[in-house]
């Protein structure tokens, strides 16, 4: 039996999406989604799910409402078990959700509604404007700023709105802002009543300001405010300077391209997003297993022949232990071996498998691994290095020169990711990207296979290039660029800190 679920996607911050909504996206056969539904939510969908965009933006309708209604009925009649209609905000809060449900009822199709956090509550909270307050407001009205087309008369009782409610929240109010404010003043509201606009509330693009009813239209025009924006009218707006929190984030609105492999990008993305950045996930490398793990299995069964096990990446650790477990062994197989990790992230991943590295260099590049192991008397020792199929040869070559017997064992390979560069190129053209981050030489090489270097050079007046360390920087220089940002410590936290410091500098 087909069921159509009307699911509210919330106000824009993916973290405000409901648990039930996420569960439905993970099981849905078909997802019909809007312009305001955060695209990050689509990552919850099954790979084989049918995704249909029916967004409406500024009067430009991909599908008119009647065709959206008919589409839901059609998909249900095709026999799909779970159909999700993903709508911005809450389905029943000026989202025409009831009209869609009425069509389903008329067609005899089962449905359920999953509420979403409405922007009236969330965007105002993120802007530091409480809708109620003991000293200022004891009632709230939610009002559409864009009534249905074809209405001969407004449904709003302007006198009641002007005199009867403490706080007014107008959805979709920017287009008709002059009419709304004039009607309120004409029906008795004080022209000096505080009023605020919140643009793209709860997202990295959020901005807001407080004015008065009489002045807000001109100020909004001067500041370039456009949809989607909420209009808030009431004395609670006076609390914004004191209660503002979200817009204090140091990277708010800064566009940052993350080029790491998707499997590794989550930590960096999460950190940047928590600081307010608008992140463009643009993986340039794909991490793939080897076709044959026979050589690794043989090496694992002969681990006691080695003195040192050296890991040069988190991926090397992951693939090594995956095969170790698949052949029925665990960390005890490393008993008697000394273990080295190229840096703290690799060391942390080893710790997760119960292995505390015996050596981590002070600086996290191969040259410093060599130096440290030489000081630990590597001469005459047998060393196993599980690593990527293609990697710098500095480590094995220099260890061999130091008298070690070195076996290099590929445990994974990297390839050019199948990322579509169109979104990044469009954002570059619109100057919405401030930083591009590079975390390895491979990310540099593959980025310029997807986005031509000449195109980047056009935007250097606005764009900053950030490299995690000197090896990555050297690769970038080969394309004619000098990195603007390069931390002294070659780690992700240090890279983020360097971006923060750069963003704080006056431009």
**Residue positions annotated with a catalytic role:** 34, 56, 172
Q: How many CA atoms lie within 13 A of 307 on its CB side?
A: 12
DSSP-based three-state secondary structure for 153: coil
Which residues are registered as beta bridge partners of 143? 170
Instruction: Determine the 3-state secondary structure of 406 from DSSP.
Output: strand
446 Ramachandran zone, left/alpha/beta (phi>0; psi -120 to 50): alpha
Helix (H), strand (E) at residue 492: helix 492-504
Task: List the one residue out of 277, 208, 209 whose CA is nearest residue 432.
Answer: 277
CA pseudo-torsion sign 307, 373, 494, 278: negative
Q: Is the peptide bond before 176 cis (omega within 30 degrees of 0)?
A: no
DSSP bridge partners of 257: 280, 436
Mark 105-124 as b/e (b = at least 16 C-beta within 10 Å).
eeeebebebbbbbbbbbbbb
Residue 192: partners with Cβ closer than 8 Å, 6 or more residues away: 212, 213, 214
Strands (E), 369-504: 382-388, 405-416, 435-438, 464-467
Q: Is the dihedral of CA 373, 374, 376, 377 positive or negative?
A: positive
Strand partners, 140: 167
Helical spans, DSSP H, in 421-481: 422-429, 441-450, 453-457, 470-477
Element at 299 (helix H, strand E): helix 294-301
Using CA atoms, how far apart are residues 360 and 338, in angstroms rounded to an integer? 12
Q: Which of 329, 347, 438, 342 is nearest to 387 (CA)?
A: 342
Which pair of tokens denotes residue 303? 């681990």
Which residues, 6 or more positions from 185, have their beta carbon under 8 angstroms from its beta carbon?
162, 191, 213, 214
């Amino acid at each position: 039996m087909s069921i159509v679920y009307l699911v509210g996607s919330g106000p824009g911050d993916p973290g405000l999406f409901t648990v039930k909504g996420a569960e439905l996206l993970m099981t849905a056969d078909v997802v019909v989604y809007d312009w305001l539904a955060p695209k990050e939510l689509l990552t919850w969908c099954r790979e084989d799910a049918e995704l249909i965009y029916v967004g409406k933006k500024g009067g430009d309708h991909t599908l008119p409402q009647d065709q959206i209604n008919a589409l839901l009925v059609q998909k249900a009649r095709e026999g799909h078990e779970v159909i999700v209609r993903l709508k911005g905000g809450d389905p029943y809060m000026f989202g025409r959700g009831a009209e869609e449900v009425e069509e389903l009822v008329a067609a005899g199709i089962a449905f359920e509604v999953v509420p979403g956090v409405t922007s009236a509550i969330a965007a105002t909270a993120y802007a530091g404007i409480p809708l109620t307050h003991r000293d200022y407001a004891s009632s709230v009205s939610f009002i559409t700023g864009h009534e249905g087309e074809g209405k001969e008369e407004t449904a709003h009782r302007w006198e009641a709105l002007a005199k009867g409610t403490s706080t007014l929240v107008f959805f979709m109010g920017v287009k008709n802002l002059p009419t709304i404010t004039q009607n309120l003043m004409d029906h008795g509201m004080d022209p000096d009543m505080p009023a605020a606009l919140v643009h793209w509330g709860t997202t990295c693009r959020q901005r807001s300001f407080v004015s008065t009813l009489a002045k807000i239209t001109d100020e909004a025009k001067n500041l370039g405010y456009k949809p989607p924006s909420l209009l808030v009218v009431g004395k609670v707006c006076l609390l914004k300077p004191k209660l503002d929190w979200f817009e204090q984030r140091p990277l708010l609105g800064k566009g940052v391209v993350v080029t790491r492999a998707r499997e590794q990008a989550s930590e960096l993305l999460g950190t940047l997003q928590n600081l307010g950045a608008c992140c463009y996930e643009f993986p340039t490398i794909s991490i793939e297993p080897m076709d044959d793990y026979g050589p690794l299995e043989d090496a694992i069964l002969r681990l006691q022949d080695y003195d040192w096990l050296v890991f040069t990446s988190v991926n090397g650790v992951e693939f090594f232990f995956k095969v170790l477990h698949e052949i029925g062994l665990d960390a005890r197989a490393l008993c008697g071996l000394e273990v080295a990790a190229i840096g703290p992230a690799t060391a942390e991943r080893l710790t997760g498998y119960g292995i505390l590295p015996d050596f981590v260099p002070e600086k996290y590049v191969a040259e410093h691994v060599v130096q440290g192991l030489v000081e630990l008397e590597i001469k005459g020792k047998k060393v196993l290095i599980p690593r990527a199929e293609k990697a710098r040869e500095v480590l094995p070559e220099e260890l061999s020169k130091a008298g070690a017997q070195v076996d290099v064992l590929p445990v994974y390979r990297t390839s050019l990711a199948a990322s579509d560069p169109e979104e990044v190129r469009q954002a570059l053209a619109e100057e919405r990207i401030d930083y591009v981050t590079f975390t390895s030489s491979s990310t540099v090489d593959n980025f310029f296979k997807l986005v031509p270097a000449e195109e980047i050079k056009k935007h250097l007046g606005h764009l900053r290039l950030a490299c995690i360390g000197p090896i990555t920087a050297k690769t970038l220089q080969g394309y004619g660029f000098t990195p603007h940002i390069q931390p002294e410590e070659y780690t992700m936290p240090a890279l983020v800190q360097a971006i923060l410091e750069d963003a704080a500098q006056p431009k």
